[in-house]
């Protein structure tokens, strides 16, 4: 018999706020009713603000982040198009695989798991592409497997410096609504996210931000698509309707999530993620453990991937946390299985929850045989959280 709450510290699905859960608990409604747009039309606008775009177009497809990947690719590219991608973790790797399966000519730059998108290598490659053979450049903003946040703005700069016309695709599944992301300023052409991460909802929506340039490309793109056809979606969306049955419950939840983000303020949400993540990182450092991310500049504020010491199996840490302390952490993925566990710190979260995550991780590590001082990580994080508001007046101003 399990008592109390179970704890979910995985990088998606994330905790759904009680107000969002309640907002979804409504009777089924007619998705062709004359007033259906009253629910949906505001969502497109709200989502655009979260993407920091005024000229982009938002689309909601039933599905998950991976479905939105497919929608982005099939609507804007042609079979055999050359695209440039980096592989530095499980998710960037899966995106490469999808692009290959869909028939793109993928040029992959492999870098270490723990590195970011290789800006210099992209620049060199784009500089040599005098005839603009590369049709799109793909960036995984936040590689969830390694806890690495890459510099999307730098990739835009590199495209501009090389006078290159390629479309800029961004996987923002574990960054949108949590990390600084600027669709307009960075001239991102296609950004993809899902409902179950920073947006604090159940899984079920694949969300896209599409630039005017990408919409233009979609008019002539010849890759096969049916369910994910942009033009079918756009035609119906104009009045707030959908070409097939939409997940209405999720729309009610999304309304509530977008309101929460707007009330807290997007800048404050981003600052909170930084403040909470920094406390988690200080705890990890106090244990004497290191992150997969190679450099401080790459640290993700939504997920930390933690290496366990040689001779310890990270799967034991996960199992002990789950079976004995009702707590889920993220597992190591791909080559990091057994070597790494992850703490997801995104979405509806506060200091007390992060301290719980650290406290339980500490016990599970200790029990799995890691020689650490119980309380050390929690203490280091407390020292940060107790003073973070004063030490970071800028963040406090942003929060007000
Ligand atoms: C979770 C995640 C995905 C996959 O999204 P699904 O919603 O599971 O399809 C893709 N990319 C990144 C970076 C993710 O974190």
Both tokens of 221, joined, read 């793109």
Please tell me the distance between residue 391's alpha carbon and the centre of ligand 1 in angstroms. Answer: 34
Instruction: Reply yes or no on whether the pLDDT at 294 is more than 80.
Output: yes
Instruction: Yes or no: say if 346 and 303 are a contact pair by the CB < 8 Å rule.
Output: yes
pLDDT in tens, 340-353: 999 999 999 999 99
Report how far apart, in Å, the C-alpha atoms of 28 and of each of 33, 65, 247, 336 are: 12, 25, 10, 43
Exposure string of 146-162, with b = 16+ CB inside 10 Å and e = fewer, is bbbbbbbebbbebbeeb
pLDDT at 2: 82
234: confidence class by pLDDT, cuts 50, 70, 90: very high
Burial call 351-368: b when 16+ CB within 10 Å, e when fewer: bebbbbbbbbbbbbbbeb
Ligand 1 center from residue 277 Cα (angstroms): 20
Mean pLDDT of the 44-54 span: 98
Q: Which among 12, 90, 145, 176 is the best mutation to test ligand 1's pocket, defined by most ligand atoms within 8 Å of the CB?
A: 12
Residues 8/303, Cβ–Cβ less than 8 Å: no
The whole-chain average pLDDT of the chain stands at: 96
The string of pLDDT tens digits covering residues 132-170 is: 999 999 999 999 999 999 999 999 999 999 999 999 999
**Cα-based distances in Å from 224 to 35, 36, 276:** 34, 31, 43
Q: Is the CB of 283 under 6 A from ligand 1?
A: no
> What was the pLDDT predicted at 388?
84
Distance CA 90, CA 334 (A): 6
Report the DSSP beta bridge partners of residue 306: 291, 341
Mean pLDDT of 102-119: 98
Which pLDDT score is estimated for 397? Answer: 43
198-222 confidence digits (pLDDT tens): 999 999 999 999 999 999 999 999 9
Judge if the beta carbon of residue 64 lies within 6 A of ligand 1.
yes
Ligand 1 close to Cβ of residue 194 (< 6 A): yes
- Ligand 1 touching residue 246 (CB < 6 A): no
Give the separation between CA 299 and CA 313, rounded to whole angstroms. Answer: 23
Can you give the pLDDT at residue 389? 62
Query: Is the CB–ligand 1 distance for residue 40 below 6 Å?
Result: no
Beta-carbon count within 10 A of 141 CB: 29
The rounded Å distance from CA 94 to ligand 1 centre is 9
Q: How far is the CA of 91 from the centre of ligand 1 (A)?
A: 7
356 backbone dihedrals φ, ψ, rounded to 5°:
-65, -45
Q: Are 248 and 39 in contact (CB under 8 A)?
A: yes
DSSP per-residue letters across 328-380:
EEEEP-GGGTTTEEEEE--SS--HHHHHHHHHHHHHHHHHTT----TTHHHHH
Q: What is the pLDDT of residues 50-84, one digit of tens each?
A: 999 999 999 999 999 999 999 999 999 999 999 99
The model's pTM is: 0.96
The response to whether residue 65 sits with its C-beta less than 6 Å from ligand 1 reads yes
To test the pocket of ligand 1, the residue of 145, 150, 173 to mutate (highest count of ligand atoms within 8 Å of its CB) is 173
Cβ contacts of 60 within 8 Å, gap of 6 or more: 43, 47, 205, 206, 207, 242, 246, 251
Residue 391 scores a pLDDT above 70: no
The span from the CA of 327 to the CA of 147, in Å, is: 20
Instruction: Give the pLDDT confidence of 354-373 residue by residue, as tens digits.
Output: 999 999 999 999 999 999 99
C-alpha 297/C-alpha 104 separation (Å) is 32
Tell how far the Cα of 200 is from the centroid of ligand 1, in angstroms: 14
Q: Which of 91, 94, 113, 200 to mutate to test the pocket of ligand 1 (most atoms within 8 A of CB)?
A: 91
Out of 72, 174, 207, give the residue to mutate to test ligand 1, the one with the largest number of ligand atoms within 8 Å of its CB.
174
């Amino acid at each position: 018999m399990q008592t109390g709450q179970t704890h979910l510290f995985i990088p998606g699905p994330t905790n759904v706020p009680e107000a969002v859960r309640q907002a979804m608990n409504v009777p089924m409604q007619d998705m062709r009713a004359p007033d259906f747009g009253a629910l949906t039309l505001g969502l497109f606008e709200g989502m655009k603000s979260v993407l920091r775009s005024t000229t982009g177009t938002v689309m909601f497809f039933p599905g998950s982040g991976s479905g939105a990947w497919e929608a982005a690719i099939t609507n804007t590219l042609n079979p055999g198009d050359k695209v440039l991608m980096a592989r530095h973790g499980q998710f960037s790797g899966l995106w490469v695989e999808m692009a290959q399966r869909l028939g793109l000519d993928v040029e992959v730059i492999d870098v270490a798991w723990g590195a970011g998108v290789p800006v210099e290598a992209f620049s060199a490659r784009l500089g040599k592409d005098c005839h603009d053979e590369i049709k799109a450049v793909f960036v995984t903003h936040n590689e969830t497997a390694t806890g690495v946040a890459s510099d999307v703005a730098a990739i835009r700069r590199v495209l501009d410096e090389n006078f290159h016309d390629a479309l800029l695709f961004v996987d923002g599944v574990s960054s949108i609504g949590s990390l600084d992301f600027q669709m307009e300023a960075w001239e991102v052409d296609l950004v993809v996210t899902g409902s179950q991460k920073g947006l604090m909802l159940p899984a079920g929506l694949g969300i896209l931000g599409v630039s005017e340039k990408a919409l233009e490309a979609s008019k002539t793109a010849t890759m096969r698509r049916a369910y994910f056809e942009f033009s079918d979606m756009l035609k119906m969306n104009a009045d707030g309707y959908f070409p097939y049955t939409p997940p209405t419950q999720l729309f009610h939840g999304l309304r509530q999530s977008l309101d929460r983000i707007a009330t807290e303020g997007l800048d404050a949400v981003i600052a909170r993620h930084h403040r909470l993540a920094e406390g988690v990182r200080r705890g990890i450092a106090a244990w004497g453990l290191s992150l997969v991310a190679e450099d401080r500049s790459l640290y993700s504020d939504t997920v930390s991937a933690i290496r366990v010491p040689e001779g310890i199996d990270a799967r034991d840490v996960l199992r002990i946390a789950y079976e004995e302390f009702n707590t889920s952490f993220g597992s190591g993925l791909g080559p990091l299985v057994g070597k790494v566990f992850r703490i997801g710190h995104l979405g509806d979260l506060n200091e007390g929850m992060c301290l719980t995550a650290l406290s339980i991780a500490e016990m599970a590590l200790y029990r799995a045989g890691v020689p650490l001082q119980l309380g050390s990580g929690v203490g280091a994080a407390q020292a940060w959280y107790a003073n973070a508001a004063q030490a970071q007046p800028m963040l406090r101003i942003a929060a007000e």
